[in-house]
A = this chain, B = another copy of it.
Amino acid sequence: MKNQKLRIIPLGGLGEVGKNMMAYEYGDDILVVDTGIMFPDNDMLGVDYIIPDFQYLLDKAQRVRGIIVTHGHEDHTGAIHHVLEQINAPVYATPLTRGLLEIKIGRNGLSHTADLHTVQAGDRVQIGAFTVDFFHVCHSIPDAVGLGIETPAGLVVHSGDYKFDHTPVDNWPTDYARLAEFSERGVLALLADSTNSERAGWTPSERVIDAALRPVFETASGRIIIATFASLISRMQQVANAAQKYGRKLAFVGTSMTDNVKMARKLGYLDFPENLVVTVEQALGMKDKDIVLMCTGSQGEPSSILGRLSSGTNRQFDLKPGDTVVISSHPIPGNEETVYRTINRLFQRGANVIYEAIAPVHVSGHASQEEMKLLIHLTRPKFFIPIHGELRQLKQHAHLARQIGIPEENIAVVENGQVIAFEEGEMRLEERVPGRYVFVDGAGVGDVGPSVVREREALARDGIVLVSLALDKKTGCLQNEAEVITRGFIRVDENGELIANVKQRIAESVTRANGNLQADVEQMVKSYLYNETKRRPTVFVTVSRT
């Protein structure tokens, strides 16, 4: 056994390494860590989200002994139902994470088949060949864990998302003792979160948000509306504390937020008096200065509560002058434009808007450079593998590790699909397993690929022009004027002349045509429109002969 290999395989498809799904393989046993989604780039047109490419595991489904989900954020939980549909292995999670998973699994009709197990930070669980120590880490959601994975090839520490917050909202700091104990045992490899590796210093404590909320509550004369993620349970606790202190009632708006609050209160992760919370209807009946509303939409999603408030399309209530809106989150990369547009619109509607750029109403849940160095010193690993990040962030994390003494040859900066093997205390890169983006669009998983997205790009860039020709079967002459329909090409009402000219030229083409009329007309229309407009719409020609 001792000589068997441990293989670690990040299975995220393209994109952020290890954040979405990681496989640990030893002998016949496979352990999966996290099943997250990625958010599409702005140029992945029409794509709802991206799930990990776990093709590699499909013919090994029987060997997957367990799936651990380290915490309840979408980029670690979001693909759970896609994975369970193919690989129905036992799922291990702490109570809050499990609660969030259950809501998701229930919505996707898998409640009866999913095999969920509750673990607590501090627990040790045997999963196939892996003895897993769950240890508590601070993050921007309670009940997050990192993993000490003891394998016959050695001990691997998997950080999960973490920060070293000395004053967390739930007063439960990261488990330093356990990290030191790992170090005593001897750590073969550390896999650590790289999200903030470009950020110097130490990430501020979640507690600074209390101080930032204080002036908001002290000066707001009207309603206070606070937008954040539905999974940011600790933020809800902080707002509840402030509401209580300043004598306001608190209402949660929207299904995802209300569902999560109900679950988190039941499990004891939210602690506030029953009479602090009112329904939205009750809140709207009270004086403006007596209420706080919490809602989703901090990423500027147009269909969220905040998105609808900013565009004036919310059903239950409207924004009004005197409202104070607090956006308590950081734009996910690629969302900056949408978030700023939402802020501008909220200002336009007369609200006062408080957001991260002007006040510390949000802090990161991820470790910064000094914390990263601390984690490495605490665990003293032989090998170091930066995970959870784009390549640039992995590179910076590797740079930090080198700075504090990990030799370059003991650091593996890899992309998803790259197999890392450990055998007899040595690390080697093996052949990469195939991986790609798996797009989820509507009900379809993977039926939209890059080629379809490229077609969408072409359609989106210059639109389409449809030409229908009806010819006399005998004479080959046009029976009527050609029909020309456009979408996304040009304002037709203001460009009648251009369209008339196209029709005129089509008529001439038909007269002159020899050979393939359809192809000739298509070519002619394309080049005529390019000459006139410098645009290349997608042109379709249909010909009927009657």
Contact = CB atoms under 8 A, between A and B. Distances in A.
Contact of A447 (B337, B459, B461, B495): B495
Interface stretch (A41-49, A223-231, A507-515): A41-49
Interface string A483-516: 1010111110011000000000000000000000
A343 B392 contact: yes
A148 B489 CA distance: 45
Contacts of A460: 45-46, 456-457, 459-460
A455 interface: yes
A221 interface: no
Chain A interface main SS type = mixed
B391 A348 contact: yes
B546 A347 contact: no
Interface in A189-205: 198
Interface in A336-350: 336-337, 340-341, 343-344, 347-348
Contact of A546 (B441, B456, B538, B545): B545
A490 B45 contact: no
A464 B459 contact: yes
B344 A42 contact: no
A333 interface: yes
B337 A334 contact: yes
Interface stretch (A60-68, A134-142, A527-535): A527-535
A103 to B, nearest CB: 21
Given A534-B443, A545-B546, A459 B463 contact: yes
B46 A456 contact: no
Contact of A485 (B355, B540, B545): B540
A538 B540 CA distance: 14
A357 B393 CA distance: 10
A392 B459 contact: no
Given A442-B535, A452-B463, A395 B347 contact: yes
A468 interface: yes
A443 B447 CA distance: 36
A451 interface: yes
Contacts of A452: 463, 488-491
A405 interface: no
A447 to B, nearest CB: 5
Interface in A431-465: 441-444, 447-449, 451-453, 455-464
Most interface-central of A452, A453, A468, A494 (chain B CB within 10 A): A452
A348 B348 CA distance: 43
A470 interface: yes
A175 interface: no
A535 B347 CA distance: 34
A355 B248 CA distance: 46
B533 A443 contact: yes
A455 B336 contact: no
B337 A391 contact: no
Contact of A392 (B45, B347, B470): B347
Contacts of A428: none
5 contacts: A443-B535, A444-B533, A444-B534, A444-B535, A451-B491
